[in-house]
Amino acid sequence: MKYQLMQLNVVGDKRGKLISLESHKNIPFEIKRVYYIYDTSLEQMRGKHAHQNLEQLYIAINGKCEVILDDAITQESVWLESPNVGLYIGKNIWREIRFFDDCKLVVLASDYYDENEYIRDYGEFLKVIKKNNDE
């Protein structure tokens, strides 16, 4: 699975709404790390990298963001604008993110932070994908 939008089940009543995220239940991997991005601005894109060994799930819990996903063949733009929608992103997907309306983005990750598994150069990303396809 390269990437996929997922509806997250909402438990709601008059006190508000609640969403629960559980490894291997509604999240398709073991959650080892959670981080969040806030104080975002329209001018500043983030991402511009791929991960060789990491799966992630993005949730815009406030505002909205556009995630441009690139598997080295096609590019697709996906909008996140609801706390009950998650975007699963598998390995080896180049992503770029643009933020709107004070977006707050929660990210679940399948492993601890490791700068060595990042691909931060687009040319290098294309080479890695080609090498994987040739093997």
Could you list the residues that contact ligand TYD (CB under 6 A)? Answer: 33, 35, 37, 46-47, 113
Q: Residue 18 Cβ, how far from ligand TYD at the closest point, in Å?
A: 25
**Rounded distance, CA 69 to CA 21, Å?**
23
Q: Give the H/E segment covering residue 64.
A: strand 56-70
Judged by beta carbon, residue 18 or residue 42, the one nearer ligand TYD is 42
Whether 65 contacts 104, CB under 8 Å: no
Question: Which of 21, 29, 46, 49 does the annotation list as catalytic?
Answer: 49
DSSP 8-state class, residue 112: -
Examine the residue annotation and report whether 24 is marked as an active-site residue of this protein.
no
Q: Residue 34 Cβ, how far from ligand TYD at the closest point, in Å?
A: 9
- State how far Cα 116 lies from the chain centre: 18
**Rounded distance, CA 3 to CA 127, Å?**
20
Q: Residue 23 Cβ, how far from ligand TYD at the closest point, in Å?
A: 17
Judged by beta carbon, residue 7 or residue 44, the one nearer ligand TYD is 44
The residues that are catalytic are 49
